[in-house]
Amino acid sequence: MKTVNISLRAMEPEDLDVLYVVENDPELWTIGASNTPYSHFALKEFIANTTNDIYTDKQLRLVVDMDGEVAGLLDLIAFEPEHRRAEMGIVILERFRQKGVAQQAMKLLFEYCRSKLHLHQVYAWVPEDNIPSCKLFLSLGFHATVVREWLFNGEVFKNAALMQLFL
């Protein structure tokens, strides 16, 4: 794996165009919680109004930065401090895929979850037929449980792997 210079940071107003592209990608709607387009205005408001405090917002969105360029986004959602867990999601922009970016970014996220948030586990829902993502999560030590017909893509139901990592 090629070593790359990756960091995680809070969203900035300058990230609006990347956020717009990601949030309005219909390919991602079938695996996420949203299935409607977002306007520039709504996303601008989201960036402006987020506190970047997971305890306040119950979610945290981080930018995956590669040498000053936005390479993707990492999310912690469904934060449950009582149970010390959160659901995670990751989107790496296409031109940064297959370069070790996701793996390094996720390792940084796990360290943050351990040392700052004191989480016991993170989990993710991954379409079972998304082989590259399944391999990525498994390579990082996640355990997988297949849930049948969990995701609906508008035509058929698909199985999903519940990926869990105990920190």
Predicted structure pTM score: 0.89
Average pLDDT, the chain: 90
In this prediction, residues 13-42 reach a mean pLDDT of 78
Per-residue model confidence (pLDDT) at position 47: 84
pLDDT band for 2, please (50, 70, 90 cuts). very low
Query: What are the Cα distances from residue 117, in Å, to 56, 83, 90, 154?
Result: 13, 12, 18, 36
Res. 93: pLDDT tops 90: yes
Q: pLDDT higher for 105 or 29? A: 105
- Render the burial of 125-161: b for 16+ CB within 10 Å, e for the rest: bbbbeeeebbebbeeeebeeeeeeebbeeeeeebebb
Res. 3: pLDDT tops 60: no
Q: Which runs of E-coded beta strand occur in 52-117?
A: 60-66, 69-80, 85-92
Per-residue model confidence (pLDDT) at position 1: 35
In this prediction, residues 48-52 reach a mean pLDDT of 88
Res. 111: pLDDT tops 50: yes
Residues 20, 111: Cα–Cα separation, whole Å: 28
